[in-house]
Structure 1
Amino acid sequence: MKGYVQVYTGNGKGKTTASLGLAIRAAGAGLGVFVIQFMKQGMYSEIKALEKFDNIFVEQYGAGQFVNGKPSDAERAKCRQGYERLCRIIEAGNHDLVIADEANMACFCGLLSAEDLLHLIDIKPDHIELVITGRGAPASVMDRADLVTEMTVIKHYYQQGVVARVGIEK
């Protein structure tokens, strides 16, 4: 089966959720899934759920702090470590679906470059489906992708002061 490059971007809710829904679908079909989450650290509800699957592997590469403005040295180091791990995973070709969660946002924050993300596409074996999520996807990455979905906010209860709820947003 040929693998394609998908990008989920935009300011709307649901980019990670969509990619993890695809991971569950792939796992249900017996495919091997590897998820690397940039800029995230913690036992979120979705991580707990994904642990129930024998063929979904998740690794997080975040310093556990919200990046607002200039990223910390710890966040830079974790991101670089995650990127190098992701390159090795893709090159090894042992998974059918590889998800680079928040890689676009890491690029937007200056932790990765557009060239880093394009390199992932360049080294991807033909059989791997690669999904890159996060706000602010570089135009060059969207141009190279086979599928681009932009999540757009039309209305969000966050604007009325609703905080992230366990099991729904986190």
Structure 2
Amino acid sequence: MEKGYLRVYTGNGQGKTTAAFGVLVRALCAGKRGYVGQFIKDEAYNETFLSRHFKHLCIEQLGKGCFIDRRPDSLDKAAAQAALRHVTELMASGQYDIVVLDELTIAIHYNLVSTQAVLDALEQRCLSTEVIITGRYAPPELIAAADLVTEMKEIKHYYLQGVLSRDGFDH
């Protein structure tokens, strides 16, 4: 049995989810089984359509939606905590070779789940399961626990020139 590693993709730059999906697609093309749990998103983004093309891929949107224009509430917290319990069971089961926990660090940052609860969940995972956690604000404890950490840093972005998120390229 090959060891699964913990990767964290964090930082204020674009590309965290994109990088995670790149690794995921590579694993799926090699015959691996994949799972994606999206902790904040609650609507169909283009990446959710991947499961139509890969029979060994499950994508679940576990959050109550983005809170750009609002503060997270008790429903967001309950959803995030239920999601963490759910993905803990999936990671422990060994049924997936790769698990992507998209925007989990956002849930930690907004105190929807605790850093310790996430670390406890990771301790329970099957030793061969590769886990990728994405999102801004990765806490130091998660970074310390990770085997690989990549920080995406924004240097320049066309958004600052008024270009909004583009379908098929940015989401």
Taking structure 2 as the reference length, what is the TM-score of the superposition?
Answer: 0.94
Q: Give the Å deviation of 1:119.
A: 1.2
CA distance in 1, matches of 2:143, 2:31: 29
Aligned counterparts, 1:1-170, within 5 A: 1-68=2-69, 70-170=71-171
CA distance in 1, matches of 2:68, 2:79: 13
**Paired residues of 2:88 and 2:122 also in contact (CA < 8 A):** no
List alignment gaps of at least 5 residues for structure 1. Answer: none
Pair 1:65–1:104, CA change in 2 (3 A): closer
CA distance in 1, matches of 2:143, 2:48: 27
**Paired residues of 2:84 and 2:118 also in contact (CA < 8 A):** no
CA distance in 2, matches of 1:43, 1:145: 29
CA distance in 2, matches of 1:55, 1:41: 22
List alignment gaps of at least 5 residues for structure 2. Answer: none
RMSD between superposed Cα atoms in Å: 1.3
| Equivalent residue letter for 1:130 | V
Identity, % of aligned positions:
39
Which segment is superposed worse, 117-126 or 104-113?
A: 117-126
| Equivalent residue letter for 1:55 | H
CA distance in 2, matches of 1:51, 1:38: 21
Q: Number of residues paired by the alignment?
A: 170
